[in-house]
Amino acid sequence: MNRLEAFSDGVFAIAITLLVLEIAVPRLGGGLLGAIVGEWPSYLAYLVSFATIGAVWVAHSVITEHVESADPPFLRINLLLLFFVSFLPFPTKLLAEYLGHDGAEEAVRVAVTFYGVTLLLTSVTASALWGWARHAHLIHESARDADVRYLTHRLTPGLAGYVAIIIVGVFQPILAVLGYLVIALFFLVPVRELRASRRAGTSAPGGVDPAS
Amino acid sequence: MNRLEAFSDGVFAIAITLLVLEIAVPRLGGGLLGAIVGEWPSYLAYLVSFATIGAVWVAHSVITEHVESADPPFLRINLLLLFFVSFLPFPTKLLAEYLGHDGAEEAVRVAVTFYGVTLLLTSVTASALWGWARHAHLIHESARDADVRYLTHRLTPGLAGYVAIIIVGVFQPILAVLGYLVIALFFLVPVRELRASRRAGTSAPGGVDPAS
Amino acid sequence: MNRLEAFSDGVFAIAITLLVLEIAVPRLGGGLLGAIVGEWPSYLAYLVSFATIGAVWVAHSVITEHVESADPPFLRINLLLLFFVSFLPFPTKLLAEYLGHDGAEEAVRVAVTFYGVTLLLTSVTASALWGWARHAHLIHESARDADVRYLTHRLTPGLAGYVAIIIVGVFQPILAVLGYLVIALFFLVPVRELRASRRAGTSAPGGVDPAS
Amino acid sequence: MNRLEAFSDGVFAIAITLLVLEIAVPRLGGGLLGAIVGEWPSYLAYLVSFATIGAVWVAHSVITEHVESADPPFLRINLLLLFFVSFLPFPTKLLAEYLGHDGAEEAVRVAVTFYGVTLLLTSVTASALWGWARHAHLIHESARDADVRYLTHRLTPGLAGYVAIIIVGVFQPILAVLGYLVIALFFLVPVRELRASRRAGTSAPGGVDPAS
């Protein structure tokens, strides 16, 4: 698990940092301030992808924290998750390029849908990683049932959310992008409570958890 | 904390190394030596950003060294800090592009201000990370009060410095860039004394620190 | 071994994530959807290189898991392996550029062969790393003979496969690229069984393995 | 030391992997094979920089292995070393661009000298890092005097070699580049013997080293 975590952390950290390379230096013409402001699709795409990779990293570290040892399918699903995460800079680049494009409605729609499908596949793979860990009994025996159920419960609605927003995006592309941001920010919030409580539980004297 | 540190180290290391990609190969025309010298804004921007990310990394490792375990807000503030750090290559690119631009005074001013505001937000977020650790009692009990007060004291003047230099930058852009370099170098100096002294303290036999 | 693993993991993670930078944003002209679909050589090259680096990373972590300490030649062979791994984004770029190029059959053939030779050299170096570890008795005494023989057996056919496909690629470039994908996916499958079984063996009470 | 090593490893791994981005896809025109061969300056520059960063990484891991804890100057010298290492892709790019340029002798000379000076500064900083560790008594007490003297002895001739080759490079640029490759490969060879012997020594029962 150590090298799996180190390698995954590396891919997450690189993917999240490469995103900034896609923001191009604006060309002058009527003032730099206006040119910078005119690049808002780049910033929005950057922000949404950053928040999403951050959220997936949080989910990934919660999952691996509960998992005792990796078996072959777990490792392959993990590699598939890293595949989608490291692919994300490309749809982000497409989104940044076409989001504010007037007179190219078809391109905007395609770019937003392509972006959303990548997010959906990332999210499905993260759920599959957790699902496999539960199915193959890879989870620490010390993990509390309530935590396992809670994490399962948390990972599911994201999928339905992505499907719904992909459909919305065909008609309202910018609204869909904001929706993807909301899902990522929403995911960043309460999962950590779980993690903190588990930590507190394991560090209690004698390993006894008064809450269970 | 281990994976938070590993992931953060990854983002810091990548952001600091990506900076060099922004330095373009100079076009020939009157000798390569002159062309290389003529790219001084790129080198200056590179140097200032490198020193700043280095200083933030030092501050980050001092902060996490004092923190026992991360709670959800700490993790989110940390992600926000990584957001500004990994965004920094973009304002650096803007600065390198427009700093030596004659006849584009407005662009120079905008680029320098944009750069300074990013540095200020990075610095504010680093202070908030430490402030939250103190507020939520995440700090190791073994940490000495003098160290905690000293670190708090050290992180504050940077903020005032950045605000002052942003204002100076409207009138004297190059002076402001040099000012940002001074803040980073200044920060790199004495914080480590604290860290070293803490180390010495904790490695003393019986955990007793003769200085306290 | 710790820093060797950390440094190697870093190079693998960066090389696998940099691949996405080579996929260019398609130019509009008859719809973005058609333009995205028309970039299939980029996606195929990306997928094959991703799977190959993933497979080499798996092989590398199985090898280092069996190795107790690195001697100077092991370290140099490891550096050579990282050399080929970090070079791979360049032949990938060539492949993505020329694979779908009509009317440039010689270029397609050269690009596919160049790509295949790089994969072959990577594979030869990985085998040499393992061969040296066996030759110089760097392997943990606790490693089971069956595992060592199995891993030796697994690493060999890849070499013959690459040589065969390089020859096929002169006549059928696209078939060869698919062949490289098959080798990588094939390698990703059963090696992990070995690793998992070894893990199970070492965690058995008293280190006794009932299967041996 | 842990985070210093992790952060340094990250910077080394990224700098060594970014080098490949500088190799451009050759334009067609008379066959891809000829075009690829015609890019030999890029490959040579890539190879020399890869070997040099690899050698500096080896030196860095030997140094940090002997060092018990970092004090503030050690950390700042280390940051300076990372500064030169992460800057190296830029002179490499210059070298790749101008090395095979016919009719631009001044540019070739400037590019080779600029490259050599960066290597020299990297080497001087690595020596300074080790020198400071010795001066400030940061070295493990268990380190054998013979090892410390040997490492000091190994790090010095590199400096003289770089100065000599920089002068040669003014008259024979390509010869100088080959010289830089020889220094890096030469350095990669025997330093590891030391490390291995030290490892063997510390793992001996009772910490007694029969060789001393």
**pLDDT (0 to 100) of residue C176:** 93
**pLDDT (0 to 100) of residue B134:** 86
B interface test, pick of A5, A17, A193 with most B CB neighbours within 10 Å:
A17
Q: Do A50 and B83 touch (CB under 8 A)?
A: yes
Closest listed residue to residue C70, CA positions, set D197, D54, D146, D154: D197
The interface predicted TM-score (ipTM) is 0.81
Residues of chain C in Cβ contact (below 8 Å) with chain D: 3, 6-7, 10-11, 13-15, 18, 21, 69-72, 75-76, 79, 82-83, 86-87, 89-90, 93-94, 97-98, 104, 106-107, 110-111, 114
B33, with CB counted inside 10 A (0-12, 13-18, 19+), is middle
Chain D positions touching C89 (Cβ under 8 A) are 20-21
B/e letters for B169-178, b = 16+ CB within 10 Å, e = fewer, are beeebeebbe
**pLDDT (0 to 100) of residue B157:** 64
Q: How far apart are CA B20 and CA D18, in angstroms?
A: 10
Q: Do D33 and C3 touch (CB under 8 A)?
A: no
Closest-CA distance of chain C to residue D31, Å:
7
Q: Which chains have at least 3 CB atom pairs separated by less than 8 Å from chain C?
A: A, D
Chain C positions touching D31 (Cβ under 8 A) are 106-107, 110
CA quadruple A52, A56, A59, A61: dihedral positive or negative? negative
Chain D positions touching B85 (Cβ under 8 A) are none
B/e letters for C145-166, b = 16+ CB within 10 Å, e = fewer, are eebbebbeebbeebeebbeebb
What is the CB neighbour count within 10 angstroms for residue A28?
15
Looking at residues A158-177, what average pLDDT do you find? 89
Helix (H, G, I), strand (E, B) or coil at D189: coil
Q: Do D110 and B36 touch (CB under 8 A)?
A: yes
Closest-CA distance of chain B to residue D210, Å:
30
Q: Do D16 and C72 touch (CB under 8 A)?
A: no
Chain C positions touching A3 (Cβ under 8 A) are 5, 9, 61
Closest-CA distance of chain A to residue B142, Å:
17
Q: A25-34, A35-44, C15-24: which range is least confident on average?
A: A25-34
Is the pLDDT at A206 greater than 50? The verdict is no
Residues of chain A in Cβ contact (below 8 Å) with chain C: 3, 6-7, 10-11, 13-15, 18, 21, 69-72, 75-76, 79, 82-83, 86-87, 89-90, 93-94, 97-98, 104, 106-107, 110-111, 114
Q: Do B104 and A28 touch (CB under 8 A)?
A: yes
Q: Are A98 and C31 spatial neighbours (Cβ–Cβ below 8 Å)? A: no
Pure H helices in D136-203: 145-171, 173-188, 191-202
Closest listed residue to residue D93, CA positions, set D54, D42, D168, D139: D42
In chain D, where the domains are located:
2-201
Q: Do A193 and B97 touch (CB under 8 A)?
A: no
Looking at residues A123-137, what average pLDDT do you find? 88
Chain D positions touching C107 (Cβ under 8 A) are 28, 31-32
Closest-CA distance of chain C to residue D140, Å:
18
Strands of A47-162 (E only): list them.
Answer: none
Is the pLDDT at D199 greater than 60? The verdict is no
Q: Do C12 and A14 touch (CB under 8 A)?
A: no
B28-57 pLDDT, tens per residue?
A: 666 778 788 888 888 999 999 999 999 899
Helix (H, G, I), strand (E, B) or coil at C139: strand
**pLDDT (0 to 100) of residue A159:** 81
* Better-predicted residue by pLDDT, C24 or B47: B47
pLDDT confidence tier of residue C209, bands split at 50, 70 and 90: very low
Residues of chain B with pLDDT under 50: 191-212
Where do we find the tokens 């007490």?
A: D141
Task: Point out the residue among D69, D72, D82 whose CB comes nearest to the CB of B193.
Answer: D72
Is the pLDDT at C47 greater than 90? The verdict is yes
Bridge partner residues of D139 (DSSP): D67
B/e letters for C86-124, b = 16+ CB within 10 Å, e = fewer, are bbbbbbbbbbbbbbeeeebeebbbbbbbbbbebbbbbbb
Q: Do C107 and D5 touch (CB under 8 A)?
A: no
Task: Point out the residue among B9, B20, B50 whose CB comes nearest to the CB of D10.
Answer: B9
Pure H helices in B38-104: 40-66, 72-87, 89-98
Residue of D nearest to B194 (CA): D72
Q: How many residues does chain A have?
A: 212
Where do we find the tokens 């994530």?
A: C17
Average pLDDT of the residues of chain D:
81
Task: Point out the residue among D13, D19, D32 whose CB comes nearest to the CB of C110.
Answer: D32
Is the pLDDT at D112 greater than 90? The verdict is yes
D6-28 pLDDT, tens per residue?
A: 889 889 998 998 888 878 777 76
Closest listed residue to residue B130, CA positions, set B180, B198, B181, B56: B56
Closest-CA distance of chain C to residue D85, Å:
15
Three-state SS letters, A86-136: HHCHHHHHHHHHHCCCCCCHHHHHHHHHHHHHHHHHHHHHHHHHHHHHHHC
Q: Do D7 and B31 touch (CB under 8 A)?
A: no
**pLDDT (0 to 100) of residue B207:** 33
pLDDT confidence tier of residue A38, bands split at 50, 70 and 90: confident
Q: Do C23 and A79 touch (CB under 8 A)?
A: no
Q: How far apart are CA B38 and CA B35, in angstroms?
A: 5
Q: Which chains have at least 3 CB atom pairs separated by less than 8 Å from chain B?
A: A, D
Q: How far apart are CA C38 and CA C23, in angstroms?
A: 12
What is the CATH architecture of A2-201? Answer: Up-down Bundle (1.20)
Is the pLDDT at C212 greater than 60? The verdict is no
Q: How far apart are CA B116 and CA B193, in angstroms?
A: 27
**pLDDT (0 to 100) of residue A200:** 43
Is the pLDDT at C208 greater than 60? The verdict is no
Looking at residues D89-116, what average pLDDT do you find? 86
Q: A50-64, A120-134, C136-150: which range is least confident on average?
A: C136-150
Q: How far apart are CA A96 and CA A101, in angstroms?
A: 9
**pLDDT (0 to 100) of residue B201:** 40
Closest listed residue to residue C191, CA positions, set C140, C142, C141, C157: C157
Closest-CA distance of chain A to residue C32, Å:
5
Helix (H, G, I), strand (E, B) or coil at C67: strand
Q: How far apart are CA D172 and CA D108, in angstroms?
A: 10
Residue of C nearest to A138 (CA): C196
Mean pLDDT comparison of A59-73, B141-155, B184-198, D139-153, highest-scoring range? A59-73
Closest listed residue to residue C59, CA positions, set C105, C8, C98, C96: C8
Helix (H, G, I), strand (E, B) or coil at B139: strand
Task: Point out the residue among C25, C57, C193 whose CB comes nearest to the CB of A94.
Answer: C25
A interface test, pick of C4, C20, C203 with most A CB neighbours within 10 Å:
C20
Closest-CA distance of chain B to residue A211, Å:
19
